[in-house]
Structure 1
């Protein structure tokens, strides 16, 4: 069968496409410009924007399954309106095209940020699929609002007959991180000793390969209309530094800054990001994420989909080994690809 992947040039997309090809699937991708993650892969490429109904129609024509991964991730609000446009209008565009094309199933990759993680009483609780979604109100972060609104837009089309399931990954880490992602940048900064401090916070991190396995299972065995949390392990940032050191031999920063102190440095991080022409690693939004004490229960995915997660240190080891093989560690390489914790 022919499978469409939107957002195929992203971190999850790069892993999903490779897994689909290894299974013998015919893969079509809808991409805009950056295709580094797809170089050399035997895929059918359609150039276009998920927000464009014509591109969506061309991409979904003759397709049996759609994996909709395309998203605009932001920890700095939505100053240009792209977050809302891609994460809501783009979802609606692909869903409408999939319905018109008679697609058998659509798997939509949302996020744990669609859940209201900052509502009163969220601390020290387990969030599952029944947790309230983020209300579409300006008092909430733009990215979080967009992911919840995107789900609502999809459900409107599902109400007219589209078969779809929705998955919610947490903080994704792992190999084939061509971007690199924000977490990938953090691992590289730890290796290069360019990270000024660690942050006294924690979040749930999941291996991208476990997310891909969960999405494939959701396509094959998920119940139409259901949501599945594809999360991993709650890990303190301090422990990330310790685990990275055990693999690379590079000591992490000695300073572990409390959240309140890190917030004072947000303007400086913003200036540094502007100079480097990339979104800063720490913003008020990203620090809020590290400050939340909510934990995630992926038991539903485990029971319904057979979803499992690998140990967090294994993921970190594989991140560095992939960065090493991709030449992203520079001249100073890992001592051995057999390094284990």
Structure 2
């Protein structure tokens, strides 16, 4: 018999890819969303619910689901929206945990973030699953609330069998709101400065597959880093330029000046009501310098990482199809 899955955040970047791969793997998928998408995936049963509305969660969540995949999160990096974000990421997760235990779910796959290990490392650091959760003390609300949610899930793993995955920077096809902004700036050669940070860039298809592998093979109470290619932002930009066949001007501005600009943009956003292009929180995240190892996920789950140039070619074809990049 087919396994059954309940997916939150199903219309998001990762959630949509995850639903697609679950259907391909012959899972029966119930996908939670706040409104039914116009481009609904074939084979997915969409249900409307809100993480902050316990009644809607109880109505949407079927009994005896084999695995709940919790990908939903408020990824805001502007402190004006911190209250809403805390409600969604912390209280929403607790509501879902309570509903899942009430319905007798078999397993919980929690999609956390590499940022729960912190975003304020001094100098380059390699992250593994043994690194401390420095994100619990972060001043960046997204980082702090994702860390608190991850901790809640792990602490309750005895009542609801849970496995945690920590994806890194997720890139890939059909991105609508995430790294697409950077790609557009590179294509138009309007990137104001090269970020000083370094990180791990993972293909969304790899991460979605890693989530399924973790649900099937992951050990309860454990967490697994789902990473990709470890690159500095300058290396990332160089490879994108080569892969896309574009020219990118390497502008470099002092980090102190960028911090001031981020604070000014955030303040202007408060006055205008429009979200700023850059906030101090977003700058902190992209300025962090780390590499990571996905060896545990490879050894225990069979996680694999696509070559970075193959991911870029997929993104290039998708951007050409969408009219964002010239052929």
Deviations 1:161-185 (A, max 9, x none): 21110000011101121x221x121
DSSP-derived class of the 2:199 partner: strand
* Contact persistence 2:115–2:135 (CA under 8 A): no
Residue 168 (structure 2) pairs with residue 170 (structure 1) = yes
DSSP-derived class of the 1:265 partner: helix
Residue 49 (structure 2) pairs with residue 48 (structure 1) = yes
* Distance in structure 2 (CA, Å) of the matches to 1:103 and 1:194: 48
In the TM superposition, residue 81 of structure 1 has moved relative to its aligned partner by 0.9
Deviates more, 1:222-231 or 1:91-100: 91-100
1:61-72 equivalences under 5 Å are: 61-62=62-63, 63-72=65-74
Which segments of 5 or more consecutive residues in structure 1 lack a partner in the other structure? 335-341
* Contact persistence 1:126–1:297 (CA under 8 A): yes
Deviations 1:243-292 (A, max 9, x none): 22223322112313343332232246545899894552x32223223332
Q: 1:306 to 1:34 in 2, by over 3 A?
A: same
**Residue in structure 2 matched with residue 210 of structure 1 by the alignment:** 206
In the TM superposition, residue 214 of structure 1 has moved relative to its aligned partner by 1.0
Residue 145 (structure 2) pairs with residue 146 (structure 1) = yes
Deviates more, 1:21-30 or 1:222-231: 21-30
* Distance in structure 2 (CA, Å) of the matches to 1:245 and 1:135: 32
**Residue in structure 2 matched with residue 333 of structure 1 by the alignment:** 326
DSSP-derived class of the 2:22 partner: helix
- Number of residue pairs aligned between Structure 1 and Structure 2: 323
**Residue in structure 2 matched with residue 338 of structure 1 by the alignment:** none
Which segments of 5 or more consecutive residues in structure 2 lack a partner in the other structure? none
1:189-200 equivalences under 5 Å are: 189-200=185-196
**Residue in structure 1 matched with residue 177 of structure 2 by the alignment:** 180
Q: 1:269 to 1:207 in 2, by over 3 A?
A: farther
* Distance in structure 2 (CA, Å) of the matches to 1:135 and 1:191: 33
**Residue in structure 2 matched with residue 339 of structure 1 by the alignment:** none
* Contact persistence 1:9–1:31 (CA under 8 A): yes
Q: How does the TM-score come out when normalised to structure 1?
A: 0.86
* Distance in structure 2 (CA, Å) of the matches to 1:267 and 1:157: 38
Q: 1:9 to 1:94 in 2, by over 3 A?
A: same
* Contact persistence 1:135–1:145 (CA under 8 A): yes
* Distance in structure 2 (CA, Å) of the matches to 1:145 and 1:302: 28
